[in-house]
Amino acid sequence: MSLPKFTYLAPASLEEACGLLDQYQGKIRTKAGGTDLMVRLAQRALKPEYVMGIRNIPELEGISFDPDKGLRIGAMALLSEVADNPVVLERYPMLSRAAKATATVQIRNMGTVMGNICNASPSADNSPTLVAMNASIVAVSSAGERQIPIDEFFLGPGRNALEATEIAKEILVPVPLSRSGVSYQKISPRSKVDIAAVNVGAMVVVDEQGTCQQARICLGAVGPIPLRATSAEEFLLGKVITDEVAEKAGALAGSDASPISDVRASKEYRRLMVIILTKRALLEARHGTGI
C-alpha cells in the first residue's frame, strides 16, 4: 500500500499539538489509530502535507469514571479498551457492546472510539449509543476548551464540528439516571464485522410505575448523520413501554428515517429494519430500567 508523501509529526503534549494545528492549518491531518485515515491516504482521498500522530500525548489517554461527572473516554482509548473496561461493562454496558461490534479484533486493537466518532460516518457503531446517552465531545485549541453536545457534532458524511485548529480531547458521558435503560442494536449485510446496514441506540428513563419520562433514540446508516427519531421519542412520553407501544414507536422511527439504497441494503429494507430494531431496542432498554 503506497501513500502520498507527507511529513510526520509526533507532539508530546496537547499544547504542542495545538501549536502545530495553528502553524499548519489547512495542511495537516490528525492520526489516532489510523484505521480510517490510512485507508483514505492510500486511496488518495486525502493528500495532507503533514500528518500529526497523537499517540504520545498523555492527556489523551485513559478511561475513568466520576460518580458526579460520569464517564470519561480519552481520545486515545482503543475500541478494545472501551469494550473490556470494567467500569464500562458495569455502568455503560451498551458502550461496550457497540465497541465490540466495531469491525475486527485487529481494528479494535488499533482504532479508537474517538476516531470512530470523528470520522463522522453515518453508520459508525459507536455513535448511536453515545447520542442516546447524551454524550459530549471536549475539543481543545490554543484558545482553550469547549464542550460540543454530540447532537451538534455531526455535520454530514465525513464532516464534524471540530475547527481546523482543534483536537478532540475526550468523550464525556453523563452518569446514568435512576431507572434508566440503554440498548444498542445492529444489523449488517453479511456478518458482524461488516459496516452496519442499520443500527439503533436507545435510552429510556421511567418512573416507579414504569411510565416513560424521557426517551432518546438514535438511528444510524439511514441518513447523512446519526438521526434522532424525534417523533418516536415524543410518542413514548407518558406511556408504559409495552410490546404494542414499542411497535408503534418503531413505526414512527421508520418515518423519521431517510435511508438510501446502496451496496449494503435497499432503502426499503433499511426502513423496515429501523422499525424492527427500534422496537427491540426499546424493549431491551425498558428491561434495563429494572421496572
Boundaries of every domain in the chain: 7-53, 58-173, 180-288
Residue 132, pLDDT score: 98
Q: What is the mean pLDDT of residues 191-204?
A: 88
What's the rounded Cα separation, in Å, for the pair 110 and 114? 12
8 Å CB contact between 36 and 15: no
Per-residue pLDDT at 216 exceeds 90: yes
The pLDDT tens digits for 217-243 are 999 999 999 999 999 999 999 999 999
Q: What is the dihedral of CA 105, 110, 114, 116, to 10 degrees?
A: -60
Out of 145-149, 191-195, 246-250, least confident range: 191-195
Average pLDDT, the chain: 96
The grid coordinates listed for 247 are 411497535
Comparing C-alpha atoms, which of 26, 22, 81, 21 is closest to residue 52? 21
Burial of 252 (0-12, 13-18, 19+ CB in 10 A): buried
User: Does the structural domain 180-288 have CATH classification 3.30.390.50?
Assistant: yes
Residue 109, pLDDT score: 95
pTM over 0.85: yes
Residue 191, pLDDT score: 63
The pLDDT tens digits for 131-140 are 999 999 999 9
DSSP per-residue string spanning 44-76: TS---SEEEE-TT-GGG--EEEETTTEEEEETT
Per-residue pLDDT at 193 exceeds 70: no
Comparing C-alpha atoms, which of 68, 182, 59, 179 is closest to residue 132? 182
Q: What is the mean pLDDT of residues 73-98?
A: 98
CA angle 40–25–3, rounded 5-degree value? 25
Burial 2-39 (b: 16+ CB within 10 A, else e): eeeebeebebeebeebbebbeebeeebbbbbbbbbbbe
122 band by pLDDT with thresholds 50, 70 and 90: very high
Residue 275, pLDDT score: 98
CATH class of the domain comprising 7-53: alpha beta
The pLDDT tens digits for 104-114 are 999 999 999 99
The pLDDT tens digits for 6-34 are 999 999 999 999 999 999 999 999 999 99
Per-residue pLDDT at 56 exceeds 80: yes
The single-letter DSSP state of residue 157 is T
DSSP per-residue string spanning 72-119: EEETT-BHHHHHH-HHHHHH-HHHHHHHHTSS-HHHHTT-BHHHHHHT
Residue 194, pLDDT score: 79
Q: What is the mean pLDDT of residues 189-199?
A: 81
Per-residue pLDDT at 181 exceeds 80: yes
Comparing C-alpha atoms, which of 19, 130, 23, 16 is closest to residue 70? 130
192 band by pLDDT with thresholds 50, 70 and 90: low
Choosing among 3.40.50.300, 3.30.465.10, 3.40.50.620, 3.40.50.150, the CATH entry for 58-173 is 3.30.465.10
Q: What is the mean pLDDT of residues 144-160?
A: 97
Residue 83, pLDDT score: 98
Q: What is the dihedral of CA 260, 264, 268, 271, to 10 degrees?
A: -80
Residue 2, pLDDT score: 85
Residue 118, pLDDT score: 97
* Residue 206 phi, psi (nearest 5): -125, 160
Residue 85, pLDDT score: 98
